Homo-oligomer: A and B are copies of this chain.
Amino acid sequence: MPAINRALPALRRIHIANTAFQQSSHVRTAARPAFAIAQQSRWQHAETTTSAAHAGADNVPQDQPDISQKKIKFTAESYPNIKRDSRFKKLDENDVKYFKELLGSESAVIDGVTRDATDDLEGFNADWMKKYRGQTRLVLKPESTEQVSKILKYCNDNLLPVNPQGGNTGLVGGSVPVFDEIVVNLSRMNKIRSFDDVSGVLVADAGVILQQADDHVAEHNHIFPLDLGAKGSCQIGGNVATNAGGLRLLRYGSMHGNILGLEAVLPDGTILDDLSKLRKNNTGYDLKQLFIGGEGTIGIITGISILCPQRSPAQNVAYFGLQSYEKVQEAFKEAKKQLSEILSAFELMDGESQQMYVKASGNKLPLENNYPFYCLIETSGSNTEHDSEKLNNFLEHVMGEEIVSDGVVAESESQIQSLWGCREGISEASQHFGGVYKYDLSIPLPRLYDLVAEARERFQNNGLMDPEDDTKPVIDVIGYGHMGDSNLHLNVCTRRYDKEVEKALEPWVYEWVAKQNGSISAEHGLGLAKKEFIGYSRSETMVKLMRQIKQLYDPNGIMNPYKYI
C-alpha cells in the first residue's frame, strides 16, 4: 500500500468477498453513512424472491406469459394504417400439406388453416409485453437448416410471407406477425454443435436458449459473451438477429466482434455457409455482419459460431446510492479508471425505478435510505485478492470524495443475485401494473438522464400521470440502463395502453434523441415499433442504401414484412 501521508478518521470496516477491508489514507471521510455489510435479515428476504426478480429482467420471464389473462388488441387494429400486402398469397390446405410432409412430424406444424387452433397459436401471435398480436394460422418448427431452406424456398416461390421467431422475447414487435405471416419458430433447432476449450469457440444451433449456451460453456470455465434478463427464454439466434447488447457489452464487446461465423438461409433457400471458427479470416466481404441486427428481414439465422472468453473466477458486485446524476457520472469515470480491465458492468437505476421494483416485487432495497440515483457495479477478474483490493480502493475513493452516499458489497453468490435483482427486476416491474411504453436509446452521457427528467415533467404537466389515481393512465416515468454503453431505458409505466400517452411521447422522444445525435434504438432493434422512426437516427442516404440490401436479398419482400425499414 502507498505510504500514509495524512491522518484521517477511519472508515467503518466493510467486507468484500470475505477479504477483510484494510483502511487506507486516501479517504476524506465525513459524518456520512459508510459502506455497510448488508444486513442478514434484509438479504434473506431478498434471496427468497431472487428467482422471480431475475426472471423479469430487461425482457421476459422464464415461462411464456399468460396471454389469456388479458386479451390483446390485434396489431392490425392498433395500427390501422398498416395494410396487408395484397401481393401475398393466402394460405390454403395444399400449403399446409406441403409443410406437413416436409417436416414429417405432427408437433412441428401448428395448423390453424384446416382446423381451429386459435388457442394453440396465441402464444406465437402475441408478444411478451402484450402490445402486439398477429393473426398467423400456421407455425412451423423445422429441426434442420435444410428444412428451413425448403420452407423459405417454397414461401418465396409462392409469395407466402414469413415471420422468423426465436424465444419471442423482443420488445419492439419484431418477433410476432402483423397479419397472417407464417411463423417459422426455431425452438427445435436447439443443439450445441461443438465447443473448443482452447480457442473458446462455441458452434450451436440458432434455437439454443441463451442460458443453456452459457451453462454449456460454463462447464469448461468459459462465459457466453452476452447476458441479459431474458436469458432463460431468449434464443441465441434471436440475440444475433437483433444484435442484443445486454449487461456485459462494456466488457466483452458487441456481437459484431464476437460472432466468428454464421449459417443462415436466404429467402430463395440459399444456405449462407459461413460457420467459421477462426478469429481472423480476411477473405472477402464480411456478409454475416448484415444478418447481425438484420432482424430476420433478409434471412433466417440457423447456426452461430461465437468466441467465448474465459470465465472469471472472481466476481464482485456493489450497489450504491447517489445524490445526483452528476455524481453518477463521476462514479462512472472513476470506475473506468480504477477498475479498468476488471469492470464488467456499470448499471444505472433512478430512484423511481427502484421504488417501482419494490412495489411490484415486494422486495426491500439493500440500502436504508432512499436516493435519487443508484448504481450497480460488477467486477470480474482472475484473482480474488487483487480484485477486492482494486474494488476497495475504488470504494474508499468514491466514499471519501463524497461521490457516493451509501452502498453495499455482496458477500456471497446469493447476495450477488439479490443485488442484480434490483436491476434486472425493473423490466418486469415496469409493466406489472398494466403496460409500459419502453424506449431503448443511446444518448451521449452528459445528457442521458435529462430525457427522463423532462419526460416526467411532461406527464406531471399534462395531467396523464398520477401514482395514486387509477383513472390516470400513467403511474410513473422511470429511467435505468447500461451506463457503460450510454444506453438508457426510458420506461413509461402505465395502467393501460392509451393513445394520449403515446401522442405525448412520440415523436417527442425521437426528436429529443435526434437532437443529441443519439440513437432511437440502442439494443432492442426497430421491429414494428420503430420502423417509422429510423429517419431520426439515420440519413436518407443510409436508409436508401439499406433498402438496396433488402431488395438484393429479399426482392419479394416475404421476410418479416411491415417491419424494420
Which A residues contact B (CB, under 8 angstroms)? 198-199, 242-243, 245, 249, 253-254, 256-258, 270-274, 276-287, 289-290, 292-294, 298, 310, 312, 329, 333, 336-342, 380-383, 386, 389-390, 442, 444-446, 482, 485-487, 517-526, 530, 534, 537-539, 541-543, 545-546, 548-550, 552, 564-565
Contact = CB atoms under 8 A, between A and B. Distances in A.
Contacts of A546: 284-285, 287
Given A272-B542, A272-B545, A545-B287, A243 B282 contact: yes
A273 to B, nearest CB: 5
A486 B260 CA distance: 13
24 contacts: A198-B329, A198-B333, A198-B445, A199-B486, A243-B286, A249-B280, A253-B258, A256-B286, A256-B289, A276-B519, A277-B444, A278-B518, A279-B442, A280-B485, A280-B486, A281-B522, A282-B293, A282-B521, A282-B526, A284-B538, A284-B564, A341-B380, A341-B381, A548-B552
A520 B382 contact: no
Given A340-B381, A341-B341, 10 more contacts: A199-B486, A243-B282, A254-B280, A273-B539, A281-B519, A281-B521, A281-B537, A283-B526, A289-B289, A339-B382
Contacts of A279: 249, 254, 442, 485-487
Given A198-B333, A282-B522, A293-B286, A273 B542 contact: yes
Contact of A386 (B271, B292, B336, B383): B383
B284 A526 contact: yes
Contacts of A520: 283
A525 B280 CA distance: 10
A273 B541 contact: yes
Contacts of A336: 310
Contacts of A273: 539, 541-542
Contacts of A310: 336-337, 340
A522 B278 contact: yes
A444 B380 CA distance: 28
Contacts of A312: 340-341
Contacts of A565: 284-285
Q: Which 8 A-B pairs have the closest CB atoms?
A: A257-B257, A289-B289, A340-B382, A280-B522, A281-B519, A386-B386, A278-B442, A283-B537
Most chain B CB inside 10 Å of its own CB: which residue of A242, A257, A337, A521: A257
A517 B285 CA distance: 18
B278 A285 contact: no
Contact of A542 (B258, B284, B329, B542): B284
A303 to B, nearest CB: 14
A342 B336 CA distance: 15
A272 B541 contact: yes
Contacts of A486: 199, 278-280
A542 B290 CA distance: 14
Contacts of A549: 285, 287, 552
Among A245, A382, A444, A521, the most chain B Cβ lie within 10 Å of the Cβ of: A382
Contacts of A485: 279-280
B386 A277 contact: no
B286 A517 contact: no
Contact of A382 (B338, B446, B545): B338
A442 B281 CA distance: 7
Contacts of A339: 382
A227 to B, nearest CB: 15
Contacts of A290: 285-287, 289-290
Contacts of A271: 541
A487 B279 CA distance: 8
Nearest to A283: B537
Contact of A538 (B283, B340, B442, B530): B283
Nearest to A307: B253
A285 B550 CA distance: 9
A524 B282 contact: yes
B386 A283 contact: no
B280 A519 contact: yes
A482 to B, nearest CB: 8
Contacts of A386: 383, 386, 389-390
A249 B278 CA distance: 13
Nearest to A534: B283
Contacts of A534: 283-284
Contacts of A286: 243, 256, 289-290, 292-293
Contacts of A283: 519-521, 526, 530, 534, 537-538
Contacts of A292: 286
A541 B270 contact: yes
A534 B281 CA distance: 11
A64 B164 CA distance: 53
A542 B286 CA distance: 10
Nearest to A258: B257
Contacts of A519: 276, 278, 280-283
B444 A199 contact: yes
A137 B445 CA distance: 49
A543 B382 CA distance: 42
A61 to B, nearest CB: 23
Nearest to A565: B284
